[in-house]
Amino acid sequence: MDILVSESAGVRYLHFSSHWIQGAMRVARPWALELDYTREMMAALLLRPAADWPRAALLIGLGAGSLVKFLHRHRPEAKLTVVEIDPEVVDVARLHFKLPPEDERLRIELDDGADFVAKTKQRFDLIMVDGFDENARTGMLDTLPFYLNCKARLTGSGLLVTNLLSKRKGARKSLERIEEAFDGRALAFPSCDSGNVVAFAATGAPVDHSLGELKALARELKAQTDLNLLPTLSRLEQANRCPAGKLRF
């Protein structure tokens, strides 16, 4: 697999052997979330709004490091573990995408994500899965055993967040596998313009917020981090994902 870096209009892109964009960074704002699906994945911070959440997060698939950089900057107390199968991706993220150095807050594991989740004994408040090869294949990261292992590794305030591709056959089947693993406690956001679908699944305490509460939380998060999730909430409302004005799962 060839790892390529391109740049256009102040945005640096990561590609795996093709035009397919695997990550992006606005050079002037390296900690910001440039791609729409990465912003939607970070809606986890609205669903579990405690200021000290997540205390421990696992990120499977590094790419350009957008998700880990955002959490590293805006959740400084969180312990972050990144699992990436390809050491060259880590090198490129460090060289071209300003990946922070490893320290007591950030650990990089060179491993297969499914294998890591199956064997680790650590538990996480948040597991984020964004792992694709150059042909947009997920391998074992989209299987029932993997999702069951993720559930077993989550705490009582746990969330799984995974990036699916609605343009890929089987996205509906992917969500069904997540729902089966999490006893129905899952929700897919409407497809982004890019074709990505972000799915969430919860353990322990229920996710139960009114749209009004979520909008207030989104305004607070925007003031703190400049991440604007109000358009995401509008899309959820328009897609009738919040019956009776509630987001609950």
Cα dihedral 81, 84, 89, 90 in deg (nearest 10)? 30
- Side by side, which strands form the sheet with 11-16? 3-8, 11-16, 21-26
- pLDDT recorded at residue 76: 97
* Cα–Cα distance, 117 to 152 (Å, whole number): 9
- Set 86, 111, 125, 130: catalytic member: 130
pLDDT digits (tens, 9 = 90+) for 71-119: 999 999 999 999 999 999 999 999 999 999 999 999 999 999 999 999 9
pLDDT digits (tens, 9 = 90+) for 30-80: 999 999 999 999 999 999 999 999 999 999 999 999 999 999 999 999 999
| Total-model pTM | 0.96
Q: Which helix (H) or strand (E) holds 79?
A: strand 79-84
* Cα–Cα distance, 79 to 138 (Å, whole number): 25
Domains and CATH numbers, the chain: 30-248 (3.40.50.150)
pLDDT digits (tens, 9 = 90+) for 188-236: 999 887 788 999 999 999 999 999 999 999 999 999 999 999 999 999 9
Beta-bridge partners for 24: 13
* Cα–Cα distance, 249 to 242 (Å, whole number): 10
130 flagged as catalytic: yes
Please report which confidence band the pLDDT of residue 247 belongs to, taking 50, 70 and 90 as the band edges: very high
